[in-house]
Amino acid sequence: MPVRLVVYGRAECHLCQEMINALQQLQKRLLFKFEVIDIDFDPELRTLYNERVPVLMALHEKQEICHYHLDVAALNTYLARAR
């Protein structure tokens, strides 16, 4: 069963798009799924992540893996522990 991740971001965010693109490339060799949630549609999420997007979180544990840029080492470490 693949690990589920979430990217908290917003539309028109170049850093968000960069992280999403990098995750899509990594999905070709690593087993995980991710969804993207636009924080601007949820006041609570906007308060939590407004200045830090994109934020990559482990969905099940609600653990932050990285923010601003994809940290591949941190993602690999998390995926190794999650399996």
68 versus 2: which is more confidently predicted? Answer: 68
At 83 the pLDDT is 76
Q: Can you tell me the distance from the alpha carbon of 52 to that of 83, in angstroms, rounded to the nearest whole number?
A: 28
Contact at 8 Å (CB) between 72 and 17?
A: no
Q: Which residue range is the domain that position 39 belongs to?
A: 3-82
* pLDDT (mean) for 22-43: 95
* Mean pLDDT calculated for residue range 22-51: 96
Closest CA to 15 of 36, 31, 43, 42: 36
Number of domains into which the chain is organized = 1
Residue 57: CATH number of its domain:
3.40.30.10
Report yes or no: 16 and 54 within 8 Å, Cβ to Cβ: yes
Q: Looking at the predicted structure, is the pLDDT value of residue 1 above 80? A: no
What local confidence, expressed as pLDDT, does residue 60 receive?
85
- For 44-65, write each residue's pLDDT tens digit: 999 999 999 999 999 888 999 9
